[in-house]
Amino acid sequence: MRYRIIHNTTYRYSEPASLSQNELFLHPRETDTQRMVQSQLTIVPEPQYLHRRTDYYGNIAEVFMVQQPHNELAVTATSIVETTLPVTQAPESTAPWETVVQRLAAHDHPAELNAYQFVFASPLITINPGTMAYARTSFTQGIPVLAGALDLIRRIFTEFTYDKSATTVDTSVDQVLANHKGVCQDFAHFAISCLRALGLAARYVSGYLNTVSPPGKPKLIGADASHAWISLFVPDTGWVDLDPTNNLIPGDNHITLAWGRDYGDVTPVKGVVMGGGVHTLSVMVDVKVQP
């Protein structure tokens, strides 16, 4: 599949801002199943400083600073990406989850050593008895690790309600478990907490999902949104993506932006502003299939 993605973020200020400094994770990654064809970043007003770097996890981050008075800041990232379907190992043929935990703890091989860093709690993902108890229902003794993970995301999809008004970016894993409500970010954080509680390695993935409009109705421009899912490390296979919001293994409809320990590592747009008074934020995302 070939996609054109437009991600526009606009801040409007009630009074002039004297300085704005931001970090962006809006450049899709190159992966085994994804190729960057073209990428363009437009910032208005034009920044006095713009720098691109590769972060610790291999994501491309762009940092910029506007050092002149401005009442509005608009950031538009336009990307053309090609995706292919991943080759996924049969869930029942993966190693028992207990064996995976042991291999990660031993981390005798480079891939397992690299994955081991994603076993631990992170700033936005706690590990607690509640998530461990929830995970144990799916990870019974000897169950293959990918089969257990698929059952976990199925239960989250079935037992939790998608509700945009139920959470914020600061909602904790404990709150998500207590309320059984949230959005893709919350479900990803919760699933990762469950897996890490067992000693498994799981990371947070940010990106986009190509949505399909109802039959007979045109797709609305800008009606798409950022999406989030997780990735589980499976020894001898590698990282396997899982989408608890939609109860599936992502295919060529998922476009990967970045990955890290949690949302805080890969926030699409974050920064600080001096002045500006009260500000409003609007975000428009459009994912369109290209011929």
| 246: helix, strand or coil | coil
- The per-residue DSSP string of 198-240 comes to TT--EEEEEEEE---PPTTSPPPTTBB-EEEEEEEEETTTEEE
pLDDT of residue 80: 97
Shared domain check, 272 and 237: no
One domain, residues 282 and 195? no
Instruction: Output the pLDDT for position 217.
Output: 67
Q: What is the CATH number of the domain that holds 73?
A: 2.60.40.2250
- What per-residue confidence (pLDDT) applies to 111? 95
Together in a domain, 119 and 206: yes
The number of angstroms, rounded, from the C-alpha of 282 to the middle of its chain's C-alpha atoms is 20
In this prediction, residue 206 carries a pLDDT of 97
Residues 96 and 211 in one domain: yes
**205 and 259 Cβ atoms separated by less than 8 Å:** yes
Q: Are residues 276 and 151 in the same domain?
A: no
CATH code of the domain containing 145: 3.10.620.30
Same domain as 233, residue 104: yes
Question: What pLDDT, on the 0 to 100 scale, is given for residue 211?
Answer: 79
**pLDDT digits 0-9 by tens, 124-177:** 999 999 999 999 999 999 999 999 999 999 999 999 999 988 888 889 999 999
- In a shared domain, residues 26 and 97: no
The C-alpha atoms of residue 84 and residue 252 are separated, in whole angstroms, by 5
Q: What is the pLDDT of residue 115?
A: 98
Q: Which parts of the chain sit beneath pLDDT 50?
A: 220-222
Determine the structural domain holding residue 271 and report its residue range: 2-84+267-289
Instruction: Please indicate, yes or no, whether the overall pTM of this predicted structure exceeds 0.85.
Output: yes
Check whether residue 178 and residue 201 sit in a common domain. Answer: yes
**Does residue 133 sit in the same domain as residue 256?**
yes
SS3 content of the chain, % helix, strand, coil (to 5): 25, 40, 35
Give yes or no: residues 126 and 224 share one domain: yes
- Same domain? For 97 and 239 the reply is yes
Taking the C-alpha atoms of residue 203 and residue 259, their distance in angstroms, rounded to an integer, is 7
Q: For position 291, what pLDDT does the model report?
A: 81
Q: Are residues 23 and 49 in the same domain?
A: yes
- Total domains in the chain come to 2
